A = this chain, B = another copy of it.
Amino acid sequence: MERLKAIIQYDGTNYAGYQIQPNGNTVQAELEKALSKMHKGRKVKVTASGRTDSGVHALGQVIHFDTDLNIPVENWKRALSSMLPQDIYILSVEQVGRDFHARYDAKGKEYRYFIWNDQEPNIFKRHYRYHIKADLDVAAMQQACKYIEGEHDFTSFCSPRTDIKGDKIRLIHEASVQKEGEELVFVFRGSGFLYNMVRILVGTLVEVGRHDRDPGEIPMIIEAKEREAAGKTAPPQGLFLREVFYDED
């Protein structure tokens, strides 16, 4: 048996999220189905760095699984990709130590969130962008982002539906937003993220961009440590898991 680590992309539009669940198609189920076919019907468990919600996309999700197949590692990318639907793609596969764990060993993650900020919708990006018609004050949102960076208890930015048992202190290395044409591109890079944290951060920043909140309110929202203090949860389709960081990187 050897352990393989793969970096994968998926379009979350047609999935009920990453993680296997009783109702609805999931990315994990597609991966395990493809691997099971390759392993003559035997079940192969896939472990990811974390789950993503329904409609959320991945540019660089990381998974691991164990195999006893005699496939040279350089052929795995093509072999596995060819078994998967068009909306899941294998970027790379490498052999790792038997103790590598995609979730426990993850040292951090980067998410991106995209807003289509124009009077007119872009129907071709409707599954990949959050459409906001109103002019947003990008400078005010950038100012608010500065308060998010650093180590904080992010309880206010965590969905109460979380199953996290430990503390909600996370270290955010970068929180930023830039205007690129009709789009706003948010970057969030940190040690870890709570359930719905990026979407609640974006929803709150949008309220700052609309002048419904002052950038200076962010420290108070953090301090409150209750979900009600923060803004709405932005919709899933603008969110992309961009990269997962490990020590060996």
Would you call A87 and B10 a contact (CB within 8 A)? no
Of A9, A124, A126, most B-chain CB atoms within 10 Å: A124
Contact mask for chain A residues 85-116; partner B; CB cutoff 8 A; 1 contact, 0 none: 01111010000000000000000000000000
Copies of this chain held together in the complex? 2
Interface residues on A, range: 10 to 19
Candidates B86, B89, B91, B120; contact of A91 at CB < 8 Å: B120
Are B91 and A123 in contact, CB atoms less than 8 angstroms apart? no
- Which residues on B sit within 8 Å (CB–CB) of A126? 11, 86-87
In the complex, whether A57 has a CB less than 8 A from a CB of chain B is: yes
- Are A10's CB and B128's CB within 8 A? no
Contacts of A87 on B, CB cut-off 8 Å? 123, 126
Q: Which residues of B contact A128 (CB under 8 A)?
A: 124
The answer to whether the Cβ of A121 comes within 8 Å of any Cβ in the partner chain is yes
Whether A11 contacts B88 by the Cβ 8 Å rule is no
Q: Are A57 and B88 in contact (CB under 8 A)?
A: no
Closest to A128 in B: B124
Measured between alpha carbons, how far is A91 from B119 in the docked complex, in Å?
A: 11
Docked complex: A18-76 residues within 8 A CB-CB of B: 57
**Residue from the set A57, A123, A126 with the largest chain B CB neighbour count within 10 Å:** A123
Q: Which of A172-226 contact B (CB under 8 A)?
A: none
A-B contact pairs, 10 of them (CB 8 A): A9-B123, A11-B123, A11-B126, A57-B124, A86-B126, A87-B123, A88-B123, A89-B120, A89-B123, A124-B128
